[in-house]
Amino acid sequence: MKFQITATLLEACVLSLLGDGPAYGYIITQRLQDKVECSESTLYPVLRRLEKDGLLTSYNREANGRNRKFYKLTEEGRLQLADMRREWERYKTLVDDLIGKEVGT
């Protein structure tokens, strides 16, 4: 894909994935990679930043025989996600108005 994902958009994607419920880093990476290019080395700093900002909380739990660090949205994270979704809808509309038209219209 020629379009690169920005840091803010990546944060919105992570918050959205965690809106479905808690998950650990590897699973979050796999779900993201199904849709956009993202490596674990890109994801973990985002998770740490979101946790530091109070949008996520984490806890350790066993999964598939290994101790994993799970991430979960906080209430502030849910509010931020709702705000990001509203902003995304406005942004999508603006970009569609610019580049979503057929050539010659």
From residue 52, alpha-carbon distances to 38, 47, 49 in Å are: 21, 9, 5
pTM above threshold 0.75: yes
Q: What is the pLDDT of residue 3?
A: 77
Q: What is the pLDDT of residue 1?
A: 61
Domain boundaries of the chain, sorted by first residue: 7-97
C-alpha 60/C-alpha 28 separation (Å) is 15
Long-range contacts of 34-40 (CB under 8 A, 24+ apart): 36/1, 36/5, 36/10, 37/1, 37/5, 38/5, 38/10
Q: What CATH architecture applies to the domain 7-97?
A: Orthogonal Bundle (1.10)
Mean pLDDT in consecutive groups of 10 residues from the start of the chain, 105 residues: 83 96 94 88 94 98 90 98 97 90 65
- Two structure tokens written together for 1: 């894909």
Residue among 52, 53, 64, 33 at smallest CA distance from 13: 33
Residue among 84, 102, 72, 65 at smallest CA distance from 7: 84
Q: What is the pLDDT of residue 4?
A: 81
Q: What is the pLDDT of residue 104?
A: 62
Q: What is the pLDDT of residue 37?
A: 85
